[in-house]
Amino acid sequence: ARGSLFQAQKMEALGGLSSGIAHDFNNILTVILGNLDLLRRAPEQRRERLINNAVQAVEQGRKLTQQLLAFGRRHLHQPEVLDLNRLILGMDDMLKQSLRGDIRVEFDLAQELWPVEVDPAQLQIALINLAVNARDAMPRGGQFRIRTENVTAPGSDLEQSVAIAVSDTGSGMPPEVVARAFEPFFTTKEVGKGTGLGLPQVYAFAQQSRGSVRITSEVGRGTTFTISLPHTQAQIVERQRVSHDPDAAAR
Query: Which residues lie near ligand ADP (CB under 6 A)?
Result: 129, 133-134, 137, 168, 170-171, 173, 177, 181, 186-189, 194-200, 223
We find the least distance from the C-beta atom of residue 182 to ligand ADP, in angstroms, to be 7
Q: Which is nearer to ligand ADP, 17 or 134 (CB)?
A: 134
Q: Which is nearer to ligand ADP, 113 or 146 (CB)?
A: 146
Using DSSP, state whether 55 is helix, strand or coil.
helix
We find the least distance from the C-beta atom of residue 179 to ligand ADP, in angstroms, to be 11
Q: Which is nearer to ligand ADP, 142 or 230 (CB)?
A: 142
> CB atoms < 10 A from the CB of 209, how many?
22
We find the least distance from the C-beta atom of residue 54 to ligand ADP, in angstroms, to be 23
What element of type H or E holds 148?
strand 142-152
Asked if 206 and 227 count as a contact pair (C-beta separation under 8 A), the reply is yes
Name residue 196's amino acid: G
Distance separating alpha carbons of residues 142 and 136, to the nearest angstrom: 11
> What phi, psi does 45 have (nearest 5°)?
-70, -10
Query: How long, in residues, is the chain?
Result: 251
We find the least distance from the C-beta atom of residue 36 to ligand ADP, in angstroms, to be 27
Q: Which is nearer to ligand ADP, 34 or 172 (CB)?
A: 172
Chain residue whose CB lies nearest ligand ADP = 198
